[in-house]
Amino acid sequence: MFFLLLKTNHGIVNINHRFMETSVKNTHQKKRIHNLSVLTLVLLVASFLWLIYNVYAFNQIRQKATNIDAITIGLAFGYLVKGCLYLSLVILFIKTFKYFVHLKFLGILTIITGIVSAISVVFDFAALSDIGHEYLEQGLECFWEWTWLYIGLLIHVVFYVVGFLFVVKLESRINRFNGSKVSQIKEIYFEVVQYVGIVCGLVGTVFSVFISFYIGNTKTFSGDWIIWLILAYSAIIIVPYVMFVFYWLLKLTRSKELAFYDEKQKNDLVLSGITTLLVSIPLLTLFFIFNFGKTGFAASTMWFPFYLFLIVLVFSVSALYRYKKR
């Protein structure tokens, strides 16, 4: 009897010890997340305020001011702050993904607007480069480049507002979080991947169609460096989707559950694949017919980016639709 009581007490002590270790670990983790959230908020506010400088800089460049070099340095510093913001948010998402059970809509919206904002930064560089060569040096109008720069400002504003709301809401949820089911978190991983696929697929499809039918078939389109630049832009657009898919698969392989999906989920993925095949073939056929007999850049190169973005878009839409129907 004595040994039984001793063993029971020892077990209770071990349980209490593990509970205390878990509590201390959670406290440290929440403190790190809090510090990262504060840093992200600071970068969000700084990036938002820097948009005021962007408007000033664009107007000065448009007026062909004499201090263009100094203005360019200011723009570069602003984009550096944006880069730090994107990195901080990525780390914050990785650290706090389990809280998406309560913040799913706002979290997914932040990811979507963040990806669109990051992609628009790449096109900001392209627009500014064209303005530097064609507007400042050659005196061309560059209507579309200027239009894009101001549209990009609006995209960044939306992202900053949504990101600010997400981080503030996250801070309020962390202290009240009591855990969640692993299956719920796995489903959120799946849903986020499909939303990212829709964004990247849609942006990439529009971009590849624009390049193919507007730039790719014009006589002024020439130069190997432009071809490689457009292919680099295509790669940048698909990178967020590849990163999220890789992270999702990594979480699945590390899962303790033997089965990744139930029968319905497997059927949904198979049906989404079939839908992608049936939809992509006629659309790619139209692309082929339009470029048949042509030897330009669109016919020889852009068919693959168009097909890649198209299947990502169709598969993600189909998979998300079937997931929502459950």
CA distances from 95 to 63, 99, 181, 279, 302 (A): 45, 9, 17, 37, 38
Q: Identify the CA nearest to 297 among candidates 248, 236, 230.
A: 230
**Terminal Cα distance for the chain, rounded:** 54
Chain segment 55-107, per-residue pLDDT in tens: 888 888 888 887 788 888 888 888 898 989 999 888 888 777 766 666 678 88
Chain segment 233-285, per-residue pLDDT in tens: 888 888 888 888 887 777 777 665 545 555 666 777 888 888 888 888 888 88
Give the whole-angstrom CA distance, residue 2 versus residue 299: 85
The overall average pLDDT reported for the chain is 77
Domain boundary assignment for the chain = 181-326
pTM: 0.67
Q: And the tokens for 208?
A: 């590849």
DSSP, res 139: -
What per-residue confidence (pLDDT) applies to 156?
Answer: 92
What band does 25 get if pLDDT is binned at 50, 70 and 90? Answer: very low
Q: And the tokens for 130?
A: 């064209």
What per-residue confidence (pLDDT) applies to 49?
Answer: 81
Q: And the tokens for 323?
A: 């997931």
The residue-averaged pLDDT of 202-219 equals 73
Tell me phi and psi for residue 177, to 5 degrees.
-80, 130
| Residue 111 · residue 195 · CB < 8 Å | yes
What per-residue confidence (pLDDT) applies to 17?
Answer: 44
What per-residue confidence (pLDDT) applies to 2?
Answer: 43
What band does 117 get if pLDDT is binned at 50, 70 and 90? Answer: very high
Angle between helices 224-253 and 100-130 (to 10 degrees): 170
Q: Identify the CA nearest to 170 among candidates 309, 44, 310, 306.
A: 44
Angle between helices 143-174 and 100-130 (to 10 degrees): 160
Of 271 and 18, more confident? 271
CA distances from 282 to 172, 276, 285, 315 (A): 49, 11, 5, 15
Q: Identify the CA nearest to 92 among candidates 137, 133, 32.
A: 32
The residue-averaged pLDDT of 221-242 equals 76
What per-residue confidence (pLDDT) applies to 27?
Answer: 62
